[in-house]
Amino acid sequence: MLSMLNTSRSASRAAAWLRENRPTELFLELPPACEDYLRVADYTEALNLMVEDGLLTPEEAGTLRLEPLLRAAEGCRIHCYLDPMHQLAKREFLQDVLLLSLRARVSGRVDVEGWRSAAGRLLKAEERAGEREAAYIASKCTRRGACINLSESACRVLERRGIAVRTHVLAEASKPVDMLLGLLRKERSGSSVSDEELERCIRAHLRFLELVETLGYEDAVLRLSYPQDA
């Protein structure tokens, strides 16, 4: 599994990995209905058509950095694994994050329970979708597949099916929201997570938003204080 952010730097690292390792299949974090578009149109036209036909929002299409991956994966079979209900839950979570962030910036107060509830809805959807996403990948993978940003739930299902999963972290940093979700995944597995830990992630996210406004998204990611080894 390739863990990456929607940045040019992450995409370049993923493309280099694909050229070096030559998987037989590449699984993208898009709904299966997107596969036909990627087969019959060039990348930019395919994105435009997916937006026109309602498979992606303009915002989703604008943040994707998949073209370097598709070029590097020439000769691979391209599949799209994201369960539509999981996609919807991701959209709703982003809307929740925008609203909660705005409230926190206006009031100066962090609604930890509101963030916990919003993230919980996403994680429940992620767990429910994991079985379906893993089944789809297992049905299409012939030898050695590469999956972009597959959820932990789907990875666990694949491993239960006897399919080995190795994770390669290609992201240059961990965004605070991703760290928040990581903490709450641990909490759902039985670990204790305090409100103070969650609030630290949320306030880090608010500082990250200020960086995005000042520097732009890609440069803001490079300034995050949570570097990861790639």
What would the pLDDT profile of 39-81 be if each residue is shown by its tens digit?
877 888 999 999 999 999 998 888 888 889 999 998 899 999 9
Domain assignment of residue 195, yes or no: yes
Domain assignment of residue 227, yes or no: no
On the question of pLDDT at 225 being above 70, the answer is: no
| pLDDT score recorded for residue 162 | 92
In percent, how much of the chain has pLDDT > 90?
Answer: 79
Domain assignment of residue 211, yes or no: yes
Q: What is the pTM of this model?
A: 0.90
Range of the domain at 156: 2-222
Give the mean pLDDT of the chain.
92
Question: Whole-angstrom Cα distance, residue 135 to residue 154?
Answer: 9
- DSSP string over 5-42: -SSHHHHHHHHHHHHHH--SEEEESS-GGGHHHHHHS-
Domain assignment of residue 64, yes or no: yes
| pLDDT score recorded for residue 168 | 93
Residues 126-160: pLDDT tens digits? 999 999 999 999 999 988 999 999 999 999 999 99
178 φ/ψ angles, rounded to the nearest 5 degrees: -65, -35
Query: Residues 160, 99: contact at Cβ < 8 Å?
Result: no
| pLDDT score recorded for residue 112 | 97
Could you tell me the CA-to-CA distances from 19 to 16, 22, 26, 137, 200 in Å, in that order?
5, 6, 12, 21, 38
Domain assignment of residue 228, yes or no: no
| pLDDT score recorded for residue 227 | 42
Domain assignment of residue 118, yes or no: yes
| pLDDT score recorded for residue 13 | 93
Based on the structure, what is the number of domains in the chain? Answer: 1
